[in-house]
Structure 1
Amino acid sequence: MNIDANTSAIERDGKSERSDELLQDILQALRQVVPLSLGVMDPRSEDEEWQDEWGVLIGVTGDMYGRIVILGEGDVFGRLGESMFGMLLEGDMLHSFVGELANMVTGQAATLVSGRGYRIDITPPTVITGRMHFFGLKNVVKMSVAFERAGELHFIISRDTEGKV
């Protein structure tokens, strides 16, 4: 899939190009962090909602402002953790892993972005469990990533034009 197909919700200006680069860097970071093959699925409708039992939100600040939300089912996060650490993760270990996976992926993506001369920082992860709805996210790009033998994670990347997260 061409990642640019995901960018229709983002205005075409210099800041959106940085947001496109962030999307590319998140995918590259996933490939570097998770030892499973992955495929990017077709983008979802702007109106379509995901109903997942686990989520994590990380804010982005600096030369870009916004939020990165990663959503998935508990068994998907569990299989990803097992592929990375060789053991089944449940309970508090799974809860901790969900936040740490988001830290690893967004931290690596921030490092990749900085290689192009942009400065971004990430906030500590907020792990969320239960069925959730997100309101107030602006300029949203949604993508799903399917991991071999693990399942799908869903990403919501929003870009604010100003302010702090």
Structure 2
Amino acid sequence: MSLSKNVQQILNATISSLTTVIPLQTKILAPSLTVQPYEQKELSVLIGLVGDIKGRVILDTTPDIVNTIGQAMFGMTIEGEMIESFTGELGNMVVGNLCTTLEKEDLHLDISPPTVMTGTAKISGFRQAFKLPVQMEDGAIMHILLTIDKDK
């Protein structure tokens, strides 16, 4: 299967996963290619992908967005150390769900444990990267970054 078809499948499964996992109205904005290095500003979770594609999914977000999602899911404020913990779990839920969706389309992927990053960080070392902006109900934007290392 071609790389472009696989990338399209992953982006579509990401959109499906976001709408399944996040119990809020979101608006998926147009994806775009992004260049190295990608700079995350506040808070993100990185989950590696291996299998038919090798790369990473990064949810680049903010503590406010994570708290809003947590409140919608659990009815309570997510703050302090729980922000980072829940960010990792949110990444697991989104990327795990997208892998389950892709399995039905014969695209086989496994994921790594989540790596939560805080503060400013530059991410490089990928062949291609696609940025998918997700607008939350309050207008805040979370970016989903899909990096591709190589075909397998």
- Give me the TM-score of the superposition, normalised by structure 2: 0.90
- Is 1:125 aligned to residue 98 of structure 2? no
Calculate the aligned-residue CA RMSD, in Å: 1.9
Letter in 1 for 2:51: G
Distance 1:46 1:18 in 2: 18
- Is 1:154 aligned to residue 143 of structure 2? yes
Task: Answer 1 or 2: which has greater strand percent.
Answer: 2
Q: Deviations over 1:47-98 (max 9, x none)?
A: 5955421011000001111111111111111111111111000112111100
Could you tell me whether the CA contact under 8 Å between 2:35 and 2:128 is conserved in 1?
A: no
Aligned partner of 1:94 among 67, 77, 83: 83
Report the Cα offset of residue 136 of structure 1: 1.1
Corresponding residue number in structure 1 for 2:124: 135
Corresponding residue number in structure 2 for 1:4: none
Could you tell me whether the CA contact under 8 Å between 1:70 and 1:155 is conserved in 2?
A: yes
Q: Which runs of 5+ in 1 are unaligned?
A: 1-12
Distance 1:123 1:150, change over 3 A: farther
Letter in 2 for 1:91: G
Could you tell me whether the CA contact under 8 Å between 1:138 and 1:159 is conserved in 2?
A: yes
Corresponding residue number in structure 2 for 1:16: 4
Q: Which runs of 5+ in 2 are unaligned?
A: none
Corresponding residue number in structure 2 for 1:116: 105
Q: Give the secondary-structure state (helix, strand or coil) at the position aligned to 2:70.
A: helix
Aligned partner of 1:144 among 124, 133, 147: 133
- Give me the TM-score of the superposition, normalised by structure 1: 0.84
Distance 1:19 1:101, change over 3 A: same
Corresponding residue number in structure 2 for 1:31: 19
Distance 2:59 2:31 in 1: 15
